[in-house]
């Protein structure tokens, strides 16, 4: 769900969002009273930094990196925050193939089961589709190719490419992000890169502080519209503070 936080300057929007994101949790000079809970869980039960992302109103990037390199770097860094309890597609696929091959080895040890398996394989080979890319290959070869394809897809950051398309920055993938000293993408595109950086990782909550800074109303409307679509698509919660609706 996308939620708007609307308030005048100096009203404490940034302080509120940083507090909710856990950025003040270890501050020794700041006293926070009361409890902040995520689905009933306090900050003592989980690491808020791994659950919530905070985006300031200033875009801070490595100017020389391209848009794609910037998002891939953010993706790889944030994937390192995954815990052992997180779902891992590659690990599940490897385990499934290992279990299947173990059962096959057990069947080959049984003469009757091995004969039935060989007969089934022969029937399959005789009636294969000529357009089948795996035609004529053994089950082990097919499994190896599927695993290799899974590694290519999973490790190449499909989520990065999906977000780039969703945020409307696919056409800038090879353009440097840039800054005031290096020419790169426009201000609106740079803000979209900043938002996409937050969303490529495993975090489920995003706090965006006055992302309208330096943007005109039309560009901001486009960014917020795309952010809403991506928030719903990835099942996230986004809180955005603006000076104007």
Q: SS3 sequence, 113-128? A: HHHHHHHHHHHHHHCC
Say which range, 36-40, 86-90, 189-193, has the weakest mean pLDDT.
Answer: 86-90
User: What distances in angstroms separate CA 135 from CA 85, 131, 140, 195, one per listed residue?
Assistant: 37, 8, 13, 44
Nearest 10 degrees: Cα torsion 70, 73, 78, 84: 150
Say which range, 24-28, 128-132, 152-156, 175-179, has the weakest mean pLDDT.
Answer: 128-132
What number of other Cβ atoms are within 10 A of residue 193's Cβ? 25
8-17: average pLDDT: 83
Residue 26: what pLDDT? 65
**Domain locations along the chain:** 2-83+175-242, 89-154
The confidence band for 119, taking pLDDT boundaries of 50, 70 and 90, is very low
Q: Report the distance separating Cα 61 and Cα 184, nearest Å.
A: 11
| Confidence (pTM) | 0.63
Residue 135: what pLDDT? 60
Q: Report the distance separating Cα 196 and Cα 112, nearest Å.
A: 56
pLDDT of 134 higher than 70 = no
The residues, any chain, with a CB within 8 Å of residue 150's CB and separated by 6 or more, are 89, 90, 93
Residue 233: what pLDDT? 82
> If you average pLDDT over every residue of the chain, what do you get?
76
Fold of 2-83+175-242: Rossmann fold (3.40.50)
Which among 68, 67, 52, 58 has a CA at the least distance from the CA of 19?
52
pLDDT, one tens digit per residue, over 194-236 is 888 888 887 888 888 888 777 788 888 888 888 888 888 888 8
Alpha-carbon Rg of the chain, whole angstroms?
Answer: 25
The confidence band for 58, taking pLDDT boundaries of 50, 70 and 90, is confident
Q: Report the distance separating Cα 76 and Cα 83, nearest Å.
A: 14
Say what angle helices 217-233 and 187-199 make with each other, to 10 degrees.
20
Percent of the chain with pLDDT over 70: 74
Say which range, 3-17, 139-153, 219-233, has the weakest mean pLDDT.
Answer: 139-153
The residues, any chain, with a CB within 8 Å of residue 224's CB and separated by 6 or more, are 2, 240
Residue 123: what pLDDT? 47
Q: Report the distance separating Cα 148 and Cα 201, nearest Å.
A: 23
Residue 221: what pLDDT? 86
The confidence band for 124, taking pLDDT boundaries of 50, 70 and 90, is very low
């Amino acid at each position: 769900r996308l939620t708007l936080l609307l308030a005048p300057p100096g009203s404490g929007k940034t302080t509120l969002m940083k507090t909710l994101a856990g950025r003040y949790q270890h501050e020794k000079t700041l006293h926070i009273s009361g409890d902040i809970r995520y689905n009933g869980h306090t900050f003592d039960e989980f690491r808020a930094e791994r659950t919530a992302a905070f985006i300031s109103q200033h875009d801070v990037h490595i100017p020389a990196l391209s848009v794609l390199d910037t998002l891939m770097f953010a993706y790889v860094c944030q994937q390192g925050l995954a815990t052992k309890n997180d779902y891992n597609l590659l690990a599940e696929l490897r385990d499934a193939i290992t279990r299947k091959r173990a059962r096959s080895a057990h069947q080959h040890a049984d003469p009757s089961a091995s004969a039935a398996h060989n007969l089934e394989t022969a029937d399959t080979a005789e009636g294969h589709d000529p357009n089948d890319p795996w035609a004529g290959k053994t089950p082990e070869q097919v499994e190896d190719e599927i695993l290799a394809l899974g590694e290519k897809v999973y490790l190449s950051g499909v989520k990065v490419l999906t977000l780039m398309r969703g945020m409307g920055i696919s056409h800038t993938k090879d353009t440097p992000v840039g800054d005031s000293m290096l020419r790169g993408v426009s201000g609106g595109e740079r803000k979209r890169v900043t938002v996409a950086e937050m969303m490529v990782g495993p975090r489920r909550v995003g706090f965006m502080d006055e992302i309208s800074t330096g943007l005109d109303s039309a560009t901001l409307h486009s960014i917020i519209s795309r952010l809403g679509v991506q928030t719903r698509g990835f099942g996230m919660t986004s809180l955005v503070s603006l000076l104007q609706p």
